[in-house]
Amino acid sequence: MTTAIVDPGHYFNATTKHDDVRDVVAHGTTILFFRPGNGQPETVQLSPEFTRQGRVAIKQFASSGTSVRVTSPDGNLVFSRPELTVRAPGGSAPEDTPEWYTQKFYGGVLDMVTGRAGVFAARFGGCDFSLLQGVAGELAECQLISRRDKASRGYFCPRTNGFLQSLPGCTARSMVTFLASGDVGSHVVLKGPEGVADFFLAPGEKRQILLGRPPAEPFALRIHGEPSSLTNIVFDSDVAQPFLYGASPSAIRKIASYADAFVNRAASAAAT
């Protein structure tokens, strides 16, 4: 049995205008989480954490250019924050550093009260910060991956380690394109039933992998490298939402069992 990954790194981050609701709904980084319950209202807490790469640090508190919208299992908006204020742990970061580094930020605790049970969707908008896995604490969570037809609407990721599971509606082959967009290249390892693809991408180099027909077990995917590594990922498929991605296969399976109803709503989510 495949177990959850302890240090999973980032999700695949989308690039959107954080203050454009329609853009966030259609193209934002979408994290699904499952809330069990008995119908009694309870507080659900999300604790997003981010990283930012660069050579110049920013001050301890900063407007992140990142928004979040959370919808309930029936598609209704239950929480919204137009812009998160992020906080660097352990005091202010240095004014300048001679080498490339990764700076971590907390997005605060986001509280919402709900009695609904099922799969909720948290959509993050923005492009300056990279979202780390582990948004919903102890609740089962994973990312809903959308098809991207061009690189400008692809995802970016500094490093990640997780499992890529085809959704029930994805019955044909899918193409994944990896492009090293950082200063020093990226190392990609993709393991599936047809074998292992293990390769290094030099800066500006790309590689396409054709995934076979969806297997019962998920693909294992790892992207890593130096602190300045950054990888762009484009998913091309015959369906709009072909994959779920996350650190825990059991969480992915749980959420996938509700996926048909959610995906149908996701395509027509109201931007209100």
- The domain segmentation of the chain, as residue ranges, is 13-266
236 pLDDT above the threshold of 80: yes
Backbone angles phi, psi at 160, to 5 degrees: -160, 160
pLDDT of amino acid 42: 86
Query: Could you tell me what percent of the chain has a pLDDT over 90?
Result: 36
User: Beta strand 110-114 with 174-180: parallel, antiparallel or unpaired?
Assistant: unpaired
pLDDT of amino acid 222: 96
Q: Among 15-24, 79-88, 100-109, which range has the highest average pLDDT?
A: 15-24
Mean pLDDT estimate for the chain: 83
User: How does residue 135 score in pLDDT terms, banded at 50, 70 and 90?
Assistant: very high
User: How does residue 226 score in pLDDT terms, banded at 50, 70 and 90?
Assistant: confident
pLDDT of amino acid 252: 92
User: How does residue 60 score in pLDDT terms, banded at 50, 70 and 90?
Assistant: low
Average of pLDDT values for 138-149?
88
User: How does residue 270 score in pLDDT terms, banded at 50, 70 and 90?
Assistant: very low
Q: Which residue has the higher pLDDT, 55 or 15?
A: 15
Report which DSSP code applies to 152.
G
Please, what is the Cα angle at 104 between 103 and 108, to 5 degrees?
Answer: 145
CB 217 within 8 A of CB 193: yes
pLDDT of amino acid 182: 81
Average of pLDDT values for 113-121?
89
**DSSP states of 186-212:** EEEEEEETTEEEEEEE-TT-EEEEEE-
d(CA 139, CA 248): 11
pLDDT of amino acid 272: 45
Query: Could you tell me what percent of the chain has a pLDDT over 70?
Result: 81
Average of pLDDT values for 226-242?
87
Q: What is the pTM of this model?
A: 0.89
